[in-house]
Amino acid sequence: MKPTDTSEKGLEALIVKHLTGQPTLDVAAGNAVQSSVGSYGIGGYQPGQPHDYNRDVALDVVKLLAFLQATQPEKVETLELAREGIKRSQFLHRIQGEIAKRGVVDVLRKGVSHGPAHVDLYKFLPTPGNASSAENFAKNLFSVTRQLRYSNDEAARSLDMAIFINGLPVATFELKNSLTKQTVADAITQYQTDRDPRELLFQMGRCIVHFAVDDSEVAFCTHLTGKTSWFLPFNQGWNSGAGNPPNPDGLKTDYLWKQVLAKESLANIIENFAQIVEEEDERSKKKRKQVFPRFHQLRTVRALLRRCGTEGVGRRYLIQHSAGSGKSNTIAWLAHQLVELKQANDANSAQFDSVIVITDRRALDTQIAKTIKGYDHVASIFGHSDSAEELRGFLRKGKKIIVTTVQKFPFILDELDDLGSRRFALLIDEAHSSQGGKTTAKMHIALSAAPGDDEDDEESVEDAVNKLIESCKMLANASYFAFTATPKNKTLELFGERYQEGDEVHFRSPPELTYTTKQAIQEGFILDVIKNYTPVDSFYRVAKTVEDDPDFDKVKALKKIRHYVESHDKAIRRKAEIMIDHFTAQVIGKRKIGGQARAMVVCNGIARAIDYHREIGDYLREIKSPYKAIVAFSGEHEVGGKNVTEADMNGFPSKDIPAKLKQDPYRILIVANKFVTGFDEPLLHTMYVDKALAGVQAVQTLSRLNRAHPQKHDTFVLDFADNAEAVQAAFQEYYRATVQVGETDPNKLHDLKNDLDGHQVYAWQQVEDLVALYIKGAERDKLDPILDVCVEAYKQQLDENAQVEFKGKAKAFVRSYGFLGAILTYGHPAWEKLAIFLNFLIPKMPAPKEEDLSKGVLDAIDMDSYRPEVKAALSMGMEDEDGSVEPAPTSAGGGGKITEIDKLSNIIKAFNDLFGNIEWKDGDKIRKVIAEEIPNRVSQDKAYQNAVQHSDKQNARLEHDKALNRVILELLADHTELFKQFSDNPNFKRWLTDTVFDTTYQPGLIPPNVPPQSGAGL
């Protein structure tokens, strides 16, 4: 009895046996199994023979002629292909030339014209119930050839395996076996070093994909370029990261040949995923790029199509895909396949009449449109709306696929005819920002069913209110596909999968629709942007410039002084020098990304960005650098007494910024808000941050650096704004799957309404009257008198704290109702009426009068000294756990603050003690920790936050002290001296505890139904 074959050839035989259903002997030894045309095994493939492969044209001629004879015998006769000779040779070279020009995918899809005939080279997948097309598809010859000798120059060289369809090559394989101490890495090296990319079979577009495979992992490459061939993982993922899960029924990688390479699956990839696209390189030259789906993209699109086919219209799906995971391609592939999806109970009827792709990123708007247009079989049904007028026309004409930005959508909704009899698929990019509020309601009214049969009847106020309630809800005639890398709580609850864990409800993106940041980083699809993160401490001293010693609001004055020194010309210049010195030495000098690396400077506002553009430009000229900076901002801004645009300052149109950044001499992009989201530039390597970042904004901003490039091996962040802790917390939330624990309590709306009613700013009859007038289309001057009476009541009857409370709760009600109205199965007319009323009232209510007691402080000081100090680099790691978020809050924020008045001299002393005592090196750090880090961390403690908002000061103090103890314990490793003082010195502990509590305790709202207290004896 022979033992198990654990060699590389054993793996090869195992794969071929599954694909063909036939035991194959050692091809290399000349013992190949002979096969006849049409004899399909379990996997539907035929075994191919190495000697049938014509190396001059890179075709399996036997399989090609067999397919043509079976499907188009008259053309075989017309073109004289049955016999060897010049006619057949000309035809084979014609196919070879077309593949070189168009790529094998296009040749398979469209065939070739030769002489008097057009020859089909592939039969498409059948539509459900179409027996004729099923019979035709079965005539395709899928074959797999072992030990394929591919080279005329070095005839002994062979590939482990190659797959052909009707004689045309589509995939090659190098196989390795870890039991013989070789892995997928060795297969990649073999492709990079032993497979000459000039060989015909390996040239661009000749094959769709090249696979490196072992028994644990799979990698793929779409274009072999020698040592620079870029292989990426093609794995299922394991434990929210890279790799593959253990397989109880076989090898970890058998999904490749059992699922992905199954006949129908491979045909689906060829027809709907693989293609050659044109892109611009860093020199703005067009180059061809072959696209093949990554595993998570293939899994996601197929899972959504499968679920959509069985679940019908009117469902919601949340897709959490990491930034840089190829969302635009995934959206494009899904869009054009949803168009072709048929109803489960009627194979002749489309599931959706139109697919609308909505994005809030104009760059992606164009990118998705370009990707979809690459599938020319959908070009005639596609519309990319560059204007509201075009969008209106596409919807009315029933275009099948429409790509638009969310900014264009609202302008035409009111003018649309009723579209309620039609079914829509809405693909929403970055759902949390483009799906909300009034735009959503307007969109739903436009796309929803007609309000009733008898449209001549005058609509009552109650009918109109009920219609508005329904417009808030998700449409029954639309399915929603929400894509995001950073799902917020509202997105999770609106689109996510609801499931029970213990006694609590959770929401998430289903595992098959989730591709985590952890996996994307481990697989090399994106880079870890917080791995090389360096904070910069700023030390400065200010001086009093007036003789007297005026009083100011201490907290506001300190804030203004901090902003003043950070934006002072001296500080901007010094920071600009640090940035450019670092960029010159560490980025350009070390030839990051092969010497092509770019940098981004992120600033706090347009004015600061313009200041940096000036200072960086001056310093680059001073050091005679060959490079230049670009500034990006929207609109006009005043510089030197005149209004200028970014185009004026850069010397070229705004639309050229992305292309110019790819070209020398431009190496640095200076931004405020523009380009910090939705900007996809793999050459960005370094980011200089001089802006407070936290939460989703931190993730989206820093993720500009994460795009992969074959020569990009790391990134770098230099942070001048002390963001490190907040950035780490933000990335942790989206490192793995993001899960919402708990669901929003709709009864909070009842509570908020009761509280608002109790302030007696309005009478309910006033709400009813205004809503009736509004719905009936009354003139504007009929609404304002009602609102103005309420505004006077707000101003005269409520003190400052009560005004803050009322306005905060009014905003909370409108915000919460806008969200809950979409997910609740029921609606309250009273809620809808109050929301309409408050939407009009809120803008008319003046903000509580609050005198700025810090006014004039900047006129009384001057910068004395400024010194930035680059700290030790941080490599911020993530905890290997899912992110957890709480339901969207329904409570109001804000609240009155206690003003602390102090002398200017004391404020300056406090500022310099905190930031300017540069003689005490350790003292600087301790003061900064006490002044900023500890209060910030304590104030973010959820138990403490809850106590401040919902309990009294005594309970808040108890939670504060617990939170402070936890924070001090966390600081033990970095600040041992501080921990020792806190533990051993009671006086210091008491002082620190009181100081942090005084800094962080800002009582929220007055408890409901408790009147404001003022005066003794109340």
**What does DSSP say about strands 232-233 and 901-903: parallel, antiparallel, or unpaired?**
unpaired
pLDDT of 1009 over the 50 cut? no
Instruction: Return the sign of the alpha-carbon dihedral for residues 386, 387, 389, 395.
Output: positive
**Residue 254 pLDDT > 70, yes or no?**
yes
CB-based contact 628:636 (threshold 8 Å)? no
Give long-range contacts, CB 8 A cutoff, 24+ apart: 634-638: 634/673, 634/674, 637/606, 637/607, 637/610
Q: pLDDT, tens digit, for every residue of 342-362?
A: 887 777 788 898 888 887 655
C-alpha 291/C-alpha 370 separation (Å) is 13
* Nearest in space to 102 (alpha carbons), one of 206, 194, 210, 198: 206
The pLDDT assigned to 460 comes to 61
The answer to whether 126 touches 133, Cβ cutoff 8 Å, is: yes
Q: Tens digit of pLDDT for each residue in 906-919?
A: 655 665 655 544 34
What contacts 788, CB < 8 A, 6 or more positions away?
844
- Write out the DSSP string of 171-202: EEEEE--GGGT--HHHHHHHHHHHS-TTSGGG
Amino acid letter, 861: I
Residue 725 has pLDDT above 50, yes or no: yes
On average, the pLDDT of the chain sits at 82
CA distance 565 to 636: 25
Tell me the β-bridge partners of 593: none
Q: Which CATH architecture has domain 293-515?
A: 3-Layer(aba) Sandwich (3.40)
Mean pLDDT of 677-681: 83
Residue 399 confidence (pLDDT): 73
CA distance 916 to 935: 19
Q: What is the pTM of this model?
A: 0.78
CATH 3.40.50.460 fits 527-740, yes or no: no
pLDDT per position as a tens digit, 573-610 = 989 999 999 999 999 999 999 999 999 999 988 999 99
pLDDT digits (tens, 9 = 90+) for 290-299: 999 999 999 9
- 264 pLDDT band (50/70/90 cuts)? very high
Which has more pLDDT, 374 or 811?
811
Please state, for a pLDDT cut of 90, what percent of the chain lies above it. 44
Within a 10 A sphere around the Cβ of 71, how many other Cβ atoms?
19
Give the rounded percent of residues in the chain with a pLDDT score beyond 70: 76
> Residues 122, 108: contact at Cβ < 8 Å?
yes
**Distance in angstroms between the alpha carbons of the first and the last residue of the chain:** 99
The stretch 489-510 carries a mean pLDDT of 89
Q: Tell me the per-residue pLDDT of 511-538, one tens digit each, with 9 for 90 and over.
A: 999 999 999 999 988 999 999 999 887 6
* CA dist., res. 272 & res. 131, Å (int): 21
CA–CA separation, 1003 vs 947, rounded Å?
9
Q: How confident is the model at residue 567 (pLDDT cuts 50, 70, 90)?
A: confident
Sheet order of strands, 497-501 included: 497-501, 504-508, 738-741, 883-885
> Residue 606: helix, strand or coil by DSSP?
helix
With tokens 């609001």, the residue in question is: 553
Instruction: Please write down the HEC assignment for all residues of 938-974.
Output: HHCCHHHHHHHHHCCHHHHHHHHHHHHHHHHHHCCCC
Per-residue pLDDT tens over the stretch 744-766: 888 888 999 999 999 999 999 99
Q: In the prediction, which pLDDT does 917 show?
A: 41
Where do the structural domains in the chain lie, given as residue ranges?
A: 8-272, 293-515, 527-740, 919-1012
Residue 983: CB atoms within 10 A of its CB come to 13
How many angstroms separate the CA atoms of 935 and 995, rounded?
A: 9
CA distance readout (Å), 499 to 300, 476, 489: 20, 22, 15
Q: How far apart are CA 938 and CA 681, in angstroms?
A: 38
**In sequence order, which ranges of 623-746 are alpha helices (DSSP H)?**
646-650, 657-661, 695-702, 724-733
Mean pLDDT of 436-461: 51
Report the range of poorest mean pLDDT among 380-384, 476-480, 692-696, 707-711: 380-384
Query: Are 293-515 and 527-740 in the same CATH fold?
Result: yes
Peptide bond into 665 cis (omega under 30): yes
Is the CB of residue 546 less than 8 Å from the CB of residue 908? no
Q: What region, left, alpha or beta, does residue 821 occupy, with left being phi > 0 and alpha being psi -120 to 50 degrees?
A: alpha
Q: What digits encode the pLDDT tens for the residues 843-894?
A: 899 876 666 665 665 666 565 566 677 777 777 888 888 888 787 776 665 4
- In the structure, what pLDDT confidence band is assigned to residue 302 with cuts at 50, 70 and 90? very high
CB 551 within 8 A of CB 908: no
Return d(Cα 807, Cα 1005) in angstroms, integer: 11
- Asked if 907 and 900 count as a contact pair (C-beta separation under 8 A), the reply is no
Kindly indicate the confidence band of residue 190, based on its pLDDT and cuts at 50, 70 and 90. very high
User: In whole angstroms, how large is the CA radius of gyration of the chain?
Assistant: 33
Query: Tens of pLDDT along 157-178?
Result: 899 999 999 999 999 999 998 8
Contacts of 104 (CB under 8 A, 6+ apart): 168, 169, 170, 205, 206, 207, 208
pLDDT-derived band at 25, boundaries 50, 70, 90: very low
Residue that wins the pLDDT comparison between 821 and 130 = 130
